Amino acid sequence: MKRTLFTGIGIALAVVSSTFGAGPPELQPVPAHSPHRTVLDRYCVTCHSQQLLTAGLSLESLDVEQVSEEAEMWEKVLGRLRSRAMPPVGMPRPEESDYDAFISYLEGELDRAAEASPNPGSLPAHRLNRTQYTNAIRDLLALEVDGKSLLPADSSRYGFDNIGNVLTISPMLLERYLSAARKISRLAVGDPATSPVSEIYTVPKYLKQHERMSEDLPFGSLGGIAIRQNFPLDGEYVIQIRLQTNFRRYIRGLQRARQLDVRLDGKKIKQFSIGGQHKGRSSFIFTSAGTGDIEQENYERRADEALEVRFPVKAGPRLVGIAFAKETVMPEGPYQAPLTQYDFTQYKGGNPAVRTVTITGPYNAKGVGETPSRQKIFVCYPATPEEEEPCAERILSGLARRAYRRPLSDGDLQTLLGFYRVGRSEGGFEVGVKDALERILVGPEFLFRVESEPENVAPGTAYRISDLELASRLSFFLWSSIPDDELLGLAESGKLKDPLVLEQQVRRMLTDSRSRAMVNNFAGQWLQLHNLRLLSPDPEVFSYFDDNLREAFQKETELFFESLMREDGSVLDLLNADYKFVNERLARHYQIPNVYGSHFRRVTVNDEARRGILGQGSVLTVTSYANRTSPVLRGKWVLENILGAPPPPPPPHIPELKDRDESCKKLSMRQQMEQHRANPACFVCHARMDPLGFALENFDGIGGWRTIDANAPIDASGVLPDGTTFEGPAGLRKVLLSRSEEFVTNVTEKLLTYALGRGAEFYDAPAIRKIVREAAPGDYRWSSLIMGIVQSTPFQMRRSKES
């Protein structure tokens, strides 16, 4: 029975080229010789009259009855079989029952071997990436810092920027960490000698400010910006506001008088009147100083020079809000249609809008104040010189325990006290604490996650990691930050390894607001949302695209993904959910009626094409070019991010698409791709990608719905290599859901890669299959996959180095 199955599937396995990226070979039957013949005994593989050997590998030597001996090779074969990429287009194909039976056999053999001899792999030392560093500072010191201004972006691999073997550190990067530590320690402790500095906040120039711009701004406001600013000292600060201009440098919206409010923590501290007959005069909330007139002839260019206020503020994080008051009575006049991007750059009417806000200070500093950071740091304060060092020891022990994510040794503490004593001798108790804190923030104990092998572990042996290492893995997976006191305490007591305790902690951490890091970091990188800010759709083609739509695309997908996780929905709902999150701008783009205002709300989707992630503008835009759609990019995105079956890299010297035929008639995108696929070198890969992308052709390059391309009706039908036919987004979604196990397996592999900070290897595949199998009865809920990863062998174990 088994031998019959093997020979029946031999065609699929013989196509070595589809595993390693070569072209389709010829197949020649060969008589059977041995009762223990391998799968490939039945078929000899040749390519261009030569035996096919790619990268020095051949399947002819594999014995299908000894699968575990060549696990890496068989895992590759499994991947190609699941995606039906073997054999390639045009070659004879086995029955589906043969596919499934042989896949089941291989999986069973590989999984049993992995259970008998687990290989969890090993993790290299991990430097905290920029996001993790920023979050760790927040949780350690109650201090929000702008990581992008302190540290450069990190390199990515396997789709994520937390991969250990690319998080190296160079002398230049070390200098940036030293500089960041100095700045952060001064901000956290407070430095009375701080000189005035300016921070400039810029509103994107194509962001149209005709509505309430943030939930941090009051209802009834229009445009503006909300800024979370950390004021380093008690003192006076100056806010300077500059307004948006058209390309001729004329300030917009000065036809009528408008009120511009400046608020601090929601309280109005100043109100300007600008436009109409006010010509720059201002009314004050807590001061009566005047600003004078601006010369009439320069008014339209210089009216915002009077928008400046100096005010006292206490040290610490504060919310600065700057917005116009919304008019209660709309002025009479014709309806103003939405402006194209070009028209917007010319326009000087409409509403005034904020361009930049500059905050400068402190002036006349009164002291360091009582900030959340100081409350976090100074858990004690000495009353006499004799109390200073014991208090410093208590402060530094607590900070370093959290920062290092483990109990301190006496050597750790003495190192920090050495820095404290030097600073204490030069500037007093607080300077000593500041210097020791700076040492904590640049220490390898904080910047790197290093897992040490226990003593007397044999080389090449799998062993369980310590509770403290497990706590760090867990917190950086779910929070992209350091463990909190509860998690660290359980690890120190040795209780975290208890399965019930571990499950309780995972569920607690998923309900914590810090788990939103899974949305920003995991989903943002997996779905390529971070690329949205880099895209510039061609204004000649997509004339109504603006930064409001760009921000709405990202917000929609983030809210959507977060809702699935918070509600513990099925992973399959990513493809099939019947709801969206939209505001008025996005609803207008999607042609969803009766949605008004800038706030996002959940709406039910009646349009089958808009269900799930494939109907969202974020994905459709990042998989397009600036001036057109790309079935190739979209098909490739589906293969990589949904099915986990990426195509091989393209060959060099790919010819450009021709957008017109020989008679100069404009061709649709489908017609251009069909010409391109006529090239035999391009056909094999495009046969897999293009049908998936064609199904999404009704969406234009920014996700708008269309039915015509190049003056011809759009053909959104597709045929997969296995003969499966479908049409449009709804048909594609049905096909993908019919392969739900492939999708869930891919999501699990992505999650595991992100959780471990290394690429998923062939020896991780049995663990991934186990997670997917165990999550199936619960309809693949997010909590099931996450819990499965946390409980898995790769997450809880490590392999010692070979001798």
Phi then psi for residue 202, to 5 deg, are -115, 130
Q: What does the pLDDT average to over 106-123?
A: 92
CA dist 767 → 220, 460, 513, 747 (Å):
54, 19, 29, 13
Return the beta strands (E) in 275-350 as ranges: 282-284, 308-313, 316-325
Residue 706 has pLDDT above 90, yes or no: yes
Q: How confident is the model at residue 292 (pLDDT cuts 50, 70, 90)?
A: very low
Q: What is the 3-state secondary structure (H, E, C) of 606-626?
A: CCHHHCCHHHCHHHHHHCCCC
- CA 83 to CA 78: how far, in whole Å? 9
| Mean pLDDT within 400-429 | 97
What's the chain's average pLDDT? 87
- Asked if residue 291 has pLDDT above 60, the reply is no
Kindly report, residue by residue over 158-195, the tens digit of the pLDDT: 999 999 989 989 999 999 999 999 999 999 999 999 99
For residue 663, what pLDDT is reported? Answer: 61
Average of pLDDT values for 729-756?
Answer: 96
Neighbours of 393 (CB within 10 A): 16
Query: For the chain, how big is the Rg over CA atoms in Å?
Result: 31
Backbone dihedral angles phi then psi of residue 727, each to the nearest 5 degrees: -145, 130
Q: Which residues contact 407 (CB under 8 A, 6 or more apart)?
A: 401, 492
Q: Is the pLDDT of residue 282 over 70?
A: no
Share of the chain above pLDDT 70, in %: 84
803 pLDDT higher than 90: no
Residue whose pair of structure tokens reads 């808009």 in the numeric block: 610
Contacts with 392 (C-beta within 8 Å, 6 or more apart), sequence order: 417, 420, 424, 429, 432, 433, 436
Which residues on adjacent β-strands are paired with residue 43? 29
> For residue 308, is pLDDT > 70?
yes
Taking phi first (over 0 means left), then psi (-120 to 50 degrees means alpha), and beta for anything else, what does residue 44 get? Answer: beta
Separation of alpha carbons 25 and 14, rounded Å = 9
Per-residue pLDDT band at 27 (split at 50, 70, 90): very low
pLDDT score recorded for residue 35: 33
Asked if 231 and 313 count as a contact pair (C-beta separation under 8 A), the reply is: yes
Cβ-in-10-Å burial (0-12, 13-18, 19+) of 464 comes to middle
Quote the longest CA-to-CA distance of the chain: 103
The answer to whether the beta carbons of residues 717 and 674 sit under 8 Å apart is no
Q: How confident is the model over 565-585, as a mean pLDDT? A: 97
When pLDDT is averaged across residues 138-149 and rounded to a whole number, the result is: 96
| Whole-number Å distance between alpha carbons of 47 and 27 | 8
Cβ-count burial 160-199 (b if 16+ within 10 Å, e if not): bbbbbebbeeeeeeeeebeebbeebbbbbbbbeebeeeee
Partners of 719 in the β-ladder:
725
Q: What are residue 215's phi and psi, to 5 degrees?
A: -65, -15
Dist CA 311 CA 363 (whole Å): 10
At 63-90, the pLDDT tens digits run 888 888 889 989 988 888 887 766 665 6
CA 650, CA 72: separation in Å to the nearest integer?
24
Over 60: is that where the pLDDT of 366 sits? yes
Pairing of strands 26-29, 50-51: unpaired
* Average pLDDT value for residue range 542-549: 94
Distances (CA, A) of 529 to 417, 525, 553: 45, 6, 9
Interatomic CA distance for residues 403 and 179, integer angstroms? 18
42: phi > 0 → left, psi -120 to 50 → alpha, else beta; which? alpha
Band of the pLDDT at 599, cuts 50, 70, 90?
A: very high
What pLDDT was estimated at residue 159? 94
Give the tokens for residue 278: 């006010």
Lowest mean pLDDT among 237-246, 250-259, 287-296: 287-296
Residue 662 is predicted with a pLDDT of 60
Q: Please list, in sequence order, all residues whose beta carbon lies within 8 angstroms of the beta carbon of residue 160, skipping any fewer than 6 positions away.
A: 521, 522, 525, 526, 753, 754, 757
**CA pseudo-torsion sign 273, 277, 280, 286:** negative
pLDDT of 6? 45
Task: Put residue 125 in one of left, alpha, beta given phi > 0 → left and psi -120 to 50 → alpha.
Answer: beta
The residue with greater pLDDT, 638 or 62, is 638
pLDDT for 332 equals 60
Mean pLDDT of 599-613: 96
pLDDT higher than threshold 80 for residue 97: yes
For 479-492, how does the pLDDT look when each residue is reduced to its tens digit (9 = 90+)?
999 999 999 999 99
Taking a C-beta distance cutoff of 8 angstroms, is the pair 345, 241 a contact? no
Average pLDDT value for residue range 765-788:
97
H helix and E strand count, the chain: 32, 22
3-state secondary structure 195-263: CCEEEEEECCCCCCCCCECCCCCCCCEEEEEEEEEEECCEEEEEEEEEECECCCCCECCCCCCEEEEEE
Count Cβ neighbours within 10 Å for each residue of 400-431 and write b for 16 or more, e otherwise: bbbbbbbebeeebeebbbebbeebbeeeebbb
What confidence score (pLDDT) does residue 18 get? 39
In percent, the amount of the chain with pLDDT more than 90 equals: 68
Structure tokens at 169: 């550190």
pLDDT for 30: 33
Assess whether pLDDT exceeds 70 at residue 714.
yes
Tokens 């905050």: give the residue.
359
Distance CA(371)–CA(601), nearest Å, equals 35
H or E element, residue 29:
strand 26-29
pLDDT tier at 766, thresholds 50, 70, 90: very high
Mean pLDDT of 774-795: 97
With cut-offs at 50, 70 and 90, classify the pLDDT of residue 743: very high
Helix axes 388-404, 485-492, angle to 10 degrees: 90
d(C-alpha 147, C-alpha 161), whole Å: 14
Q: Find, among 25, 26, 34, the residue nearest to 7 by Cα.
A: 34
Return the H-helix or E-strand segment holding 365: strand 354-367
pLDDT in tens, 637-694: 999 999 998 887 777 666 666 666 666 677 777 777 777 666 665 666 777 888 999 9
pLDDT score recorded for residue 160:
97
Q: Mark 360-382 as b/e (b = at least 16 C-beta within 10 Å).
A: bbbeebeebbebebbebbbeeee
| pLDDT of 403 above 80 | yes
The sign one gets for the Cα dihedral 283, 284, 290, 295 is: negative
Q: What is the C-alpha to C-alpha distance for residues 290 and 123, in angstroms, rounded to an integer?
A: 64
- What's the token pair of residue 162? 């937390």
Q: How far is CA 551 from the centre of its chain?
A: 15
CA–CA separation, 71 and 715 (whole Å): 43
pLDDT greater than 50 at residue 441 = yes
Please name which of 801, 793, 790 lies closest in space to residue 761, comparing C-alpha atoms.
Answer: 793
Provide the pLDDT for residue 455.
87
The burial of 803, by beta-carbon neighbours within 10 Å (0-12 exposed, 13-18 middle, 19 or more buried), is given as exposed
pLDDT at 578 (0 to 100): 96
Orientation angle between helical segments 130-141 and 388-404, nearest 10 degrees: 140
> What values do phi and psi take at 26, rounded to 5?
-95, 150
User: Residue 358 belongs to what H/E stretch?
Assistant: strand 354-367
